[in-house]
Structure 1
Amino acid sequence: MKTRAKTANLIKEFFSSSHYAVVGASSVPTKYGNKVLKWYMANNRPVTPINPNEKSIEGLQCAPNLSSLISNLNHNDVSVSIITPPKITKTILEEANELGIKKVWLQPGAEDTECQDYANQAGMDLLSGGPCVLVDGPRL
């Protein structure tokens, strides 16, 4: 179990990146994938929505997956928020691991024990199990 201090450090590290990705970004304003994307935009964070079925969301060009995003960015300088069902989250985590992405925030509902175990074993700087960028991000 993570201590508050460790979680605070992980959040600080997460927000030290120069670019952000929202996997599971949605064009539907009531979905969390849209709310989280708009949070990054409202807080002037350079962000890319990741959605294989959309061309753009909220005026931003979508990338179909993390691999296409990373082709233009340094993997060490990208933090990823994931808002997908756990079954999909696991494949996203595997892709992130292959790309060398370490800063990952599983938004509430995107994680299960298998996802958390995989990310921890892969050595990711994982935020999960409760904190949400919509709640915890503003404090930063």
Structure 2
Amino acid sequence: MNIKEEMLSKKRWVVYGVSPDESKFGYKIPQRMIDHGYEVYGVNPKYKGEKIAGVDVYASISEIAQEIDCIDIVVNPKIAVGVLEEAKENNIKNIWLQPGTWDENVLNKAEDLNLEVVYDDCVYAILGPK
């Protein structure tokens, strides 16, 4: 099983950068994951306490009581670097970087933190419509 298959086999995910804008992947990805049977939590400090695309939204990963298997990052690289730190602090090693969320600095940081990373594919595209 390759890294993508391994991550996709895990069922409890955080979408970091969840958005109420229905045209953005921060909205589309959580919905598609729920359609495929995933348990999804959203993180976006701006919308803490709200429900977006069917998921509860938290200000940070540490606020989520459940153990998280993977984080799907949908924020820009400057924010993504901090998300990696937060993942490490919360003992989450599986990170999926959506297109446009990573740069060399992000990939180097992930390697330094010894995180498992997928950065060459899109969860939304892989799962496809149900």
Work out the CA distance in 2 between the residues paired with 1:45 and 1:74.
14
Shift of 1:137: 3.1
Work out the CA distance in 1 between the residues paired with 2:63 and 2:106.
22
Q: CA RMSD in A?
A: 1.4
Gaps of 5+ in 2: none
TM-score, normalised on structure 2? 0.89
Aligned length: 126
Counterpart of 1:29?
A: 22
Structure number with higher helix proportion: 1
Q: Which AA in structure 1 matches 2:109?
A: Y
Work out the CA distance in 1 between the residues paired with 2:31 and 2:67.
23
SS at match of 1:27: coil
Q: Which AA in structure 1 matches 2:100?
A: G
Counterpart of 1:63?
A: 58
Counterpart of 2:107?
A: 116
Work out the CA distance in 1 between the residues paired with 2:58 and 2:52.
10
SS at match of 2:107: helix
Please list the CA deviations of residues 44-78 of structure 1 after superposition, one character each: whole Å capped at 9, or x if unmatched. Answer: 21101111111220232211111111xx2235xx2
Shift of 1:17: 2.1
Aligned-residue sequence identity (percent) comes to 28
Cα distance change, pair 35–59 in 1 and its aligned pair in 2 (3 A): closer
TM-score, normalised on structure 1? 0.83
Q: Which AA in structure 2 matches 1:74?
A: E
Q: Which AA in structure 1 matches 2:71?
A: V
Gaps of 5+ in 1: 1-7
Work out the CA distance in 1 between the residues paired with 2:37 and 2:56.
16
